[in-house]
Amino acid sequence: MTTTPTTHPAPPITRVRVRDLPIEQQRAIRARRLRRAGTYAVAIAIAVWILLPIWLIGTLAFSTPADVRSYPKQIAPIPFSTDTMEFFLNAQGVLPATRNSIVVALLTLALSTAIAAPAGYAIARYFFRGRDAFRLSILAVRAFPIVILAVPLAETFRRLGMFDEVYSVALMHTALTLPTTILVVSSVFASVPRELEEAAKVFGCSAFQAFLRVALPLALPGVAASAIFTFVMSWNEVFASVVLTLENRTLPALILYNLDKSGDPFKFAGGFFMLVPSLIFIFFVRRYLFNMWGQITK
Amino acid sequence: MAEIRIENAVKTFGKVVAVNNVSLTVHDQEFVVLLGPSGCGKTTLLRAIAGLGMVDSGRIKIGDRDVTYLPPKDRNISMVFQGYAIFPHMNVFDNIAFGLKMKRTPKDEIARRVKEAAELLHIEEFLERFPSQLSGGQRQRVAVARAIAVHAEVLLMDEPLSNLDALLRLRMRAELKRLLNEIRATTIYVTHDQIEALSMGDRIAVMRNGEILQFDTPTKVYDVPADRFVAGFIGTPPMNFLEGQVRRENGTPCVMIGDFALTPIPELHEELLKRDGQPIIVGIRAENMETLNKPVPDALRVKVQVVEPLGSQNLLTIQIGRDVLKASTHPDFQVEPNQDVWIRFPGDKIRWIDRETGRTIIPDLEQFTQPQ
Amino acid sequence: MKFRNMNWAPYLLLLPSFIYLMLFFAWPMVQALQLAFRRDSQILPLRAEPAVEDAAITGELERGTTVELLDVMVVETQRAGGLLSDRVFWLEVAGIDPEGERVSGWALRGDVFVADASRSSRGTVRSGVARLRAGPALDAEVIGELPQDTEVALLEWDRSGQRVAAGGLLQKPLTWLRVSAETEDGEVVEGWLERSSLSIQDTEISSTGRVQSGRGSKEWTLDYVKRMVRDARFDDAVITSILLVVLILPVQFVLAIIMALVLQSQLRFNSLFLYLYAIPLGISDLAAGLVWYTIFTQTGYLNSFLQSLGLIDRPFIFISSAHKEWIIIAIVLAEIWRATSLVMVIVVSGLQAIPRDYLEAGEVFGASLWQRLRHIILPLLKPSLQVALILRTILAFQVFAVVVAISGGDVLTVLANEAYRWYDIGSYNNKNVAAAYSGFIMLLSLGVAVLYLRTIRTQEEKEAAG
C-alpha cells in the first residue's frame, strides 16, 4: 500500500515476545536491560553508602547510653531513647554553644547576603571595566585556605578587644562565605531576563524600582537558597571557630575542644545533632545547589 | 542488499501519537525523502530507523535483518544530524575518522577513507583545523564527510541543509545530490522544504500527523497528488482549489464553477457520475491554466487583481467566485491589474478532489503509483 | 571612558564586598606574613650594654624561658627638668635560646620577671594613702588607712594573688604584704597592703627569673619557619597531608563522575537520588569525622559487623598508633563520603552543557558506552574537572576536624592540625609558628594549583601542535 487513510481512531500496538525475536536482537535487548538494572544497582549502592553512616550515628544518638557503649553495636534504635541526646544537650556548654552557633549563622546569613547581593547584581547586569578581574579574584579568593586567615584575624581581634565574641566569629564566617554567595547571586540574577527590567523601565520605573519590583522577586528563591546554604556553611565551620573563641564557643568548636575528654555518648549525640540542619536544609535548596556552578565554569 | 522495510511502526510520546502505524519500503540504494510540516513525525520516524528512539510497536528491517530493537551501532547505519554534531574537541580529521575509529579500522585504511571523503566534500585543506575555526557550511560538509567515510549501507539525513543560508543551500543541494549518486547507500532524507524534496529524491513520502499520505516519485507527487493536503503542500505556488458542483448533462458529467462548465476527461466520467449533484473540489496548478488576453471559447473571463512579475514568470492573482487563485504566465504576457483575462482549464490537468475525504479522485490507482 | 559619563552604579554596588574582602582577606594575609616572618614580642633580645639605645644584640630568648640572674644595674634618669626621676632597673641575665645555645645579655627589668626575695622586714608607705585590707585581694574589705611615710613591719608576702591586666594581654601579678603598723593614735593594726604602695629597703632580687615579654625588633627572620620545619611532627604532618590528598582525590573524581552519570540517566525517583546525593554538601567535616568514628572505633560498627560475620572474635583496634594505616583509611573514607558531592555538582553542570547531539552521534557511529565516555564525555568535561580538581586539592590540604574527630590529632597529624596546636593557648601558644604553618599550607596549595594549570597548558599546546 502506498497510501493510508487519513484518519485513524487509535494506532494498533502489537506487543512482541522477546523470545520470538532473532537471537541478535534478544542479546541486544537483554544487554540493554542489564545495563539499566546495573545503573539502578549503582545508584542504590551509592545512596546506601551515603545514608547508612547517617542511620548508624542516628541509631546511636537515640539509643540508651548503655546501648551506646555496648558491643557489638545494634543497628536500629531499639529501644528508642532520648537519654543520650538529652545527656548531650544538657552537657556543660552545649546549649549556650548551640545558641552561639545559631546566632553566628544568622548574623553571617544576614551580613553575607546583604553585602553579596548588590555585588552579584552588579556582576550580572553591568558590563564594566574590571568585571572580569573581579570575577576572577572572587574565584581565587574562594580557593583560599581558611587557615591562613584565621590565625592573623584572631590576633587582630585580640588586639582590638573583639576576641572570643560571637559577632567576630560571624565577621569571619561572612568573609568565608562571601565569595560563594556573590557567585551564586550573580548567576541567579543573570538568569532573570534583562528584557523584563527594561520593560519595567519603559513603563515608568526607575532603575532601582525595576530592580525592586521585577528582578528581586524573580531572583528571590535563588537568593533565599544561597542564604540558607550560607547558614549551613556557618553552622558547620570548625577551624576558624575554634581559633577565634575561648569561652563563647560555637557548637563545633565546643565539641572539637571536648573530644578528648568526652565519652562516646557525647560524641555520637553531638555528631548527629550537627548533622540535622544539613539534612533538613539541603532538602529545600537541593535544586539550586546544582545551579551554583552554571556560570562559573567559563 | 540494504532494503529498508518499516512495518506498522507506532511511536507515541505520552498521549501524542508521533508515528501512526506507518509502513514503508525503501529499495536498495534508493534515495527517499520524508517530507512534511513540523510535527508530522518524519524526524521521529528517522530516529526510529536510526535506533535513537525505539518504536512502541512494529518492525524495522534493514536488508534481511530485523533491527527493531538493536542499538544504533549494530545497525550498520550512518547519520547526518541537523545541528551537525561535530565534536568540538577533535580536529576535522578525527571527526571524519570517528566512526572508523570506533570500528577499530586499521590506521592506514582510516587515513585513506578520510582523505577520500574529504576530497568528495572539498574540505581536504581543513583536515587539521578545529570546528571552531570553520564556517557553518564547512562544518556541515564535515558532518557529511563523517557520514560517508564509514561506508554504511544506510545513510540517514535529518534536515542537513536547514541551517544554511539560502544561497549556500542551493549550492549544497546540487552537490549533495551528485555526491549521493556516486556513493551507493540507501538514503533517507528528512526535510520540510518541498523544493529540496522534489529536487533530490527518487521517491517522496509526504507525511502529516504521523501518517504517510503519499509515497511516490516527485513527478507523480507533483502531478497526481493523492490528497488535498499533498496537493497544497507541494509546488510553488501551491495548487489552486475551487469549489464546484457536479452535474449530469446528457449522460456525461460536468462540473459547474458558477455558470462555467468544466469538462472532465473520459476516464473519470464513471467516478464523477457517482457524485452527481454533490459539491466537489477542483484543483489546478497555476502553470497548468491557459491564460489568454483575448476572449476564446471554453474560457472563463476573470479580472486580474494583482500582477507579480517574478522575472521567470508573471504571477497573476485572480478571483473566481469566492476563491482566490494564482495563474502563471510567460514573462512577456502583457497585463495590468483590473484588466480581464480569459482562463482555459485543460481537462487532463484538473485534479478532482472529494470534498468529504480530501482524497483525489483517481480512476486507476495502480496506473499512477509504483508497485511496492 | 570619560569620567563624567561612566556609570558609577556597578562600582558602588561592589564597594561593600570589595572593602570587606580587603579587610578580611587581604589584610589578614599580610598579617599572616608578618607573623610568620617578622620577629615580634615573643622574643626578647639581650643587649651587650644596658641603657644604650642601639647596643648590639648578644642573643635572644623566647618568652617563658627561665633565666639566671647575673647582675643588676639601676639607671636613674631625670625627666621634666629634674622634677621627676625614673629609676630603671637593668638586669644581666643568661638563658638557653631557641636554638639551644646559652646566651647572656642585658634586658629591662620589666621584661624579665624576677621574684623579689626580700630580706628586709620593714617598709615605708610611699605617696598618698595606703589602704589596709582584710585580705590579699582588691575586693577585700578595707579595714584601715595608713598615711604617707608610716613605717610598717613586714609579716608575710603573698605573690599568688590576682592578676590584673596591664596594657594589653600582659598580666602582672599583684604582690600583697601582710603588715602591722602603728597608727597616730598608737593603735597597732594589721592588714594587707599592695606591694606597690610600699617602699622597701634592702630588697634583694632572686637569682632566677622568667622572660615575660619581648621587644620586637621587627626584623625579617626565618626563625619561625625554621622552628616549624625542625619540629618533629612537621615531617609527619606534611607526609600525611600529601598522602591523604593523593589517596582521596582520584577516588573522589571517579565516584563523582559515576554519580553525575547516574543522575544524568534520569532513572525513576531521580529527584530522590538528587536529594540523597546532595546531602553531604551540608555536612561539616567534624560531623563527618564523628560519623566515621562510630564505624572505626573499637566498639564501633565495623568491628560489630565483622564480629557478627564471625570473622573476628575480639574487636580489632583500628584507631591506634600501631595501626596508622587504618586511621588513614578511616580518614580517607570519611573525606570521600563527605566531599565527593561537591565535585559531583561541578561535574553535573559540566555534563548538562554537553549537547545531546554529540552523544547520539557517538551512538550512531558505533561508540560503546565506554568509548563514548572516553572520547566524547570526558574531553568535553575537562574544563569542569579542572576547576574541581584545583578547588578540591586546596580544600584537601586543609583537612582538620576529620582527623581530630577520628584519631584525636596526636597519633596522626596533618598540617592544619599543627597550625591549630601551635596557636592554641592551652598548647604551644605560639602564633608565629602557627602563622608559618598557615603560610606553608597556602604555599602548598598555590604550588599545586600552578602545577595543575601548567600541566594543562602544556597538554593543550601539545594537542594544538597535533
The average pLDDT across C129-155 equals 79
What's the pLDDT score for residue C159? 59
What's the pLDDT score for residue C258? 94
Q: B65 vs chain A: nearest CA distance in angstroms?
A: 9
Please state the domain count of chain C: 3
Task: Please report the number of interchain residue pairs, chain B to chain C, with beta-carbon separation below 8 angstroms.
Answer: 62
User: Does B180 share its domain with B256?
Assistant: no
Q: Higher-confidence residue: C201 or B372?
A: C201
Q: For the domain that residue C151 is a member of, what is the CATH number?
A: 2.30.30.40
What's the pLDDT score for residue A180? 86
What's the pLDDT score for residue B112? 94
Q: For the domain that residue C353 is a member of, what is the CATH number?
A: 1.10.3720.10
What's the pLDDT score for residue C445? 85
Burial C252-265 (b: 16+ CB within 10 A, else e): bbebbbbbbbbbbe
User: Does B165 share its domain with B279?
Assistant: no
What's the pLDDT score for residue B341? 92
User: Does B331 share its domain with B355?
Assistant: yes
Largest CA distance in chain B: 79
Domain A92-291 has CATH 1.10.3720.10: yes
Here the cell at position B201 is 529524491
Rounded to a whole number, what is the distance in angstroms from the first to the last CA of chain A? Answer: 55
Mean pLDDT of chain C: 79
Q: A15 vs chain B: nearest CA distance in angstroms?
A: 7
Place of cell 572572587: A138
Q: A78 vs chain C: nearest CA distance in angstroms?
A: 16
Q: Is C365–B146 a contact, with Cβ atoms under 8 angstroms apart?
A: yes
Largest CA distance in chain A: 93
- What Cα–Cα distance (Å) separates residue A240 from each residue in A149, A253, C432? 8, 9, 17
User: Does B223 share its domain with B248?
Assistant: no
pLDDT band at A7 (very low <50, low <70, confident <90, very high): very low
| Residue C325 CB neighbour total at 10 angstroms | 9
User: Does C253 share its domain with C241?
Assistant: yes
User: Does C192 share its domain with C209?
Assistant: no
- B6 pairs with which residues across the strands? B24, B60
User: Does C61 share its domain with C149?
Assistant: no
User: Does B191 share its domain with B248?
Assistant: no
What's the pLDDT score for residue C54? 67
% of chain C residues with pLDDT over 90: 12
Here the cell at position B232 is 497544497
User: Does B216 share its domain with B280?
Assistant: no
Q: Higher-confidence residue: C60 or B105?
A: B105
Distance CA A232, CA C398 (A): 19
User: Does C97 share its domain with C241?
Assistant: no
User: Does B167 share its domain with B62?
Assistant: yes
Domain closes at, from B218, B233, B248: B233
Q: Which element (helix H / strand E) includes A1?
A: none
Nearest to A119 among C14, C280, C391 (CB): C14
Alpha-helical (H) ranges within C197-269 are: 223-230, 232-264
Subunits close to A (at least 3 CB pairs below 8 A): B, C
For A79-88, B47-56, C103-112, which range has the lowest pLDDT when averaged over its residues? Answer: C103-112
Q: Are B261 and B255 in contact (CB under 8 A)?
A: yes
Strand order in the sheet with B65-66: B16-26, B4-13, B57-62, B65-66
What's the pLDDT score for residue C332? 94
Res. C206: pLDDT tops 70: no
Q: Is A73–C21 a contact, with Cβ atoms under 8 angstroms apart?
A: no
Res. C171: pLDDT tops 70: no
pLDDT band at C40 (very low <50, low <70, confident <90, very high): low
For testing contact with chain A, the best of B22, B27, B60, B70 (most A CBs within 10 A): B70
Q: Is A116–C416 a contact, with Cβ atoms under 8 angstroms apart?
A: no
What's the pLDDT score for residue C87? 67
Instruction: Name every residue whose Cβ is closer than 8 Å to that of residue C158 and which is 6 or more positions away in sequence.
Output: C136, C175, C176, C177, C178, C192
Residue span(s) of chain A under CATH 1.10.3720.10 come to 92-291
Res. C1: pLDDT tops 60: no
Residue C12 lies in a domain: no
Q: Is A21–B216 a contact, with Cβ atoms under 8 angstroms apart?
A: no
User: Does B167 share its domain with B64?
Assistant: yes
Strand order in the sheet with B252-257: B260-262, B252-257, B240-249, B279-284, B351-353
CA-wise closest residue to C90 among C106, C76, C105, C103: C106
Question: Range of C316's domain?
Answer: 225-465
Q: Is B58–A14 a contact, with Cβ atoms under 8 angstroms apart?
A: yes
Distance CA C25, CA C164 (A): 34
Q: Is B215–A11 a contact, with Cβ atoms under 8 angstroms apart?
A: no
Q: Which residues of C touch B154 (CB under 8 A)?
A: none
Q: Higher-confidence residue: A23 or C127?
A: A23
Domain closes at, from B171, B203, B233: B233
Contacts with C, A 50-69, CB within 8 Å = 50-51, 53-54, 56-57, 60, 69
What's the pLDDT score for residue B320? 87
CA-wise closest residue to B101 among B89, B111, B88, B87: B111
Please state the domain count of chain B: 2
Q: Are C400 and C285 in contact (CB under 8 A)?
A: yes
Residue C178 lies in a domain: yes
CA-wise closest residue to A192 among A170, A178, A213: A213
User: Does C326 share its domain with C419?
Assistant: yes
CA-wise closest residue to C359 among C371, C345, C350, C348: C371
**Per-residue pLDDT reduced to its tens digit, A220-270:** 888 888 899 899 989 999 888 888 888 888 899 888 888 888 888 888 888
Q: For the domain that residue B290 is a member of, what is the CATH number?
A: 2.40.50.140
User: Does B335 share its domain with B203?
Assistant: no
DSSP states along B250-312: TTEEEEEETTEEE---GGGHHHHHHTTTSEEEEEE-GGGSEEESS--TT-EEEEEEEEEE-SS
pLDDT band at C70 (very low <50, low <70, confident <90, very high): confident
User: Does C210 share its domain with C297?
Assistant: no
What's the pLDDT score for residue A3? 42
Nearest to B102 among C357, C371, C466 (CB): C371
Q: Are C62 and C211 in contact (CB under 8 A)?
A: yes
Strands (E), C142-300: 142-146, 151-158, 163-165, 171-173, 176-182, 188-194, 198-200, 203-211
What's the pLDDT score for residue A2? 39
Nearest to A29 among B10, B69, B213 (CB): B69
What's the pLDDT score for residue C449? 81
Domain closes at, from C169, C201, C233: C201
Domain closes at, from C214, C249, C273: C214
Here the cell at position A23 is 537471537
Q: Are C331 and C414 in contact (CB under 8 A)?
A: no
Q: Is C337–A267 a contact, with Cβ atoms under 8 angstroms apart?
A: no
pLDDT band at C416 (very low <50, low <70, confident <90, very high): confident
What's the pLDDT score for residue C212? 64
User: Does C284 share its domain with C373?
Assistant: yes
**Per-residue pLDDT reduced to its tens digit, C14-26:** 888 889 888 888 8
Contacts with C, A 251-290, CB within 8 Å = 252, 255-256, 259-260, 264, 267-268, 270-271, 274-275, 277-279, 281-283, 286-287, 289-290
Domain closes at, from C168, C201, C234: C201
What's the pLDDT score for residue C205? 59
C329 touches chain A (CB under 8 A): no
What's the pLDDT score for residue B106? 93
**DSSP 8-state code for residue A18:** G
CA-wise closest residue to C94 among C59, C51, C57, C63: C59
Here the cell at position C191 is 592588714
Q: Are A191 and A290 in contact (CB under 8 A)?
A: no
User: Does B28 share its domain with B156?
Assistant: yes
Residue C220 lies in a domain: no
Question: Range of B304's domain?
Answer: 240-368
H helix and E strand count, chain C: 14, 16
Res. A298: pLDDT tops 70: no
Q: Write the ipTM.
A: 0.85
Residue C31 lies in a domain: no
Res. C291: pLDDT tops 80: yes
Residue C149 lies in a domain: yes
pLDDT band at A101 (very low <50, low <70, confident <90, very high): very high
Residues of chain B short of pLDDT 70, as ranges, are: 1, 364-372
Residue C30 lies in a domain: no
